[in-house]
A and B are shown apart, each in its own frame.
Chain A
């Protein structure tokens, strides 16, 4: 099922959460909405789900305008950051809920519900927890149950709001790999919201970068990382150095800078202030002699040790690749 968001705006009082957002999502795609908090990504997800009404614009599913359709009728699977499991129901009943509330004519019989719930619990590998209550489960287990519950209604699209945001780093990593695999199995058009760039780049087919209620860039993970469309995307995804020049500001990734000999073309002189070892990588924190600008350079540990430099030394560095944005664009970010 394709999702088409057309010129959607949404204000909360004086705050503009979404400002004329247009986005096309292909059937079977896994798309990440990425941005800082308050950038409008969650609001867009809730507009697609029908939990918020857009002030302007329309949402289409498979070409059909569903802007005025009731939430109940949209057939959307939704997973909340804090799971929102029904606390007074067992895990089994949580997953069965969407089937039990169907109108009598479409409601499966008890045996069918049992079979279906069991199948879903097996899909999320938690069939042994059917009789427990939500508060007896760990965060990661709860989130997988929330996903099984959302899938029970055979949704046309799956929407996930910061699905791993409340989990610790290790569980988070496991779960996002698992989500990626699950998506590859069931091919359900899925949109998830995250403020974690690593998560977006690792899991999604395409990443939509949000800022101040507007889309800054839409692209594959490598596109948004390697060729950011704006200074904001540069700053938000990955680390970046900003170097003021005559025509504007140059953006250079730390790993795209080499330490060079004195006299090298484009070389900048800088004092090495601090060395941070990150396993196989080494991060150098420098201060450019001209303008006292802080700079970051990332090298492999081997390259670093072959240089034989230490904190306090003066080095020369040169960018291998840089992208210059006019000053006005840089200030807008």
Chain B
């Protein structure tokens, strides 16, 4: 595939003869490395170091512990619901914004960004205010024996809210840059709406879509603030992995806390690796 796709290398351009002063790039790279070491590499190393300080036995025990296992399960459930929902929403919103003109388009774009601009705590709080016992719908929900706040549905709702911009944000500029002509061409050739979506629109944005999903998933699994407000921190019931880490830490179970934290750190590393792989793929395609 790559061999077929690689276009002939552009002719070598003449380099500029004058070189900038040699120490500037060295200094800049040095500063960047120092900064990264202090704020990224050392903490990342510390997570794994602390997690494994008392040996593999303790590490594995901390992860196998039922409450931890339950937290992992809940985190996966929340992500498994939030990511597909936001995938569908993101595609729909991006398609509408990039390919059609309608009133209130800029308002919609601003609204999509709302979860980014609002503090996660506020994101959680709005659900407490709506569905909580003292909230608008609280009494009615209680009357019908539906639990949302301090239960799994609340956690899923909060996760969906904080992650909904990712896919849409990734797709909108991509679709706008690609324009409407390919879609127009497809319609002129007789394609209906579904054929348009599956045969033209989605294949054209598949790498951007995957990129958005990866970011969305990372955030869905790592979200702390909004989920913390609606969860109620009931062990083995409404704790996601990030919340579980906090509880363990507050109980001075450092090795266990870091063991669970290392799982999240691993997720981040896997996400980064996937993200770079998608970036390489995207570049080779264009």
Contact = CB atoms under 8 A, between A and B. Distances in A.
B181 A101 contact: no
A41 interface: no
A76 B188 CA distance: 7
B5 interface: yes
A61 interface: no
Interface in A66-100: 71-72, 74, 76-78, 80, 82, 84-89, 97-98
A229 B136 CA distance: 73
Interface in B226-240: none
Given A88-B204, A133-B5, A102 B181 contact: no
Nearest to A74: B188
Query: Interface extent on B, as a size class?
Result: 20 to 34
B187 A82 contact: no
Interface string B165-185: 000000000000000011011
Nearest to B202: A88
Nearest to B191: A101
Contact of A78 (B185, B200, B203): B185
A51 B184 contact: yes
A80 B185 contact: yes
B7 A136 contact: yes
Given A82-B181, A84-B182, A88-B203, A101 B188 contact: no
Contact of B188 (A49, A85, A87, A89): A49
Contact of A72 (B4, B185, B187): B187
Given A88-B204, A135-B7, A136-B7, A72 B181 contact: no
A88 B208 CA distance: 14
B178 to A, nearest CB: 8
B185 A84 contact: yes
Interface string A43-61: 0000001010000000000
A136 B188 CA distance: 24
A101 B195 CA distance: 7
Contacts, number: 64
B38 interface: no
Nearest to A81: B181
A153 interface: yes
Interface in A100-137: 101-102, 133, 135-136
Contacts of B186: 86, 97, 101
A71 B188 contact: yes
A88 B198 CA distance: 12
B190 interface: yes
A80 B187 contact: no
Interface string B116-153: 00000000000000000000000000000000000000
Interface in A232-280: none
A149 interface: yes
B204 A72 contact: no
Nearest to A161: B181
B189 interface: yes
B192 A101 contact: yes
B133 to A, nearest CB: 52
A76 B190 CA distance: 9
B188 A78 contact: yes
A153 B203 contact: no
A86 B190 contact: no
A85 B183 CA distance: 10
B199 interface: yes
Contacts of A72: 187-188, 190-192
Nearest to B178: A87
10 contacts: A51-B188, A72-B190, A77-B188, A78-B188, A84-B185, A88-B203, A101-B192, A101-B195, A102-B190, A153-B190
Interface of A: 49, 51, 71-72, 74, 76-78, 80, 82, 84-89, 97-98, 101-102, 133, 135-136, 149-150, 152-153
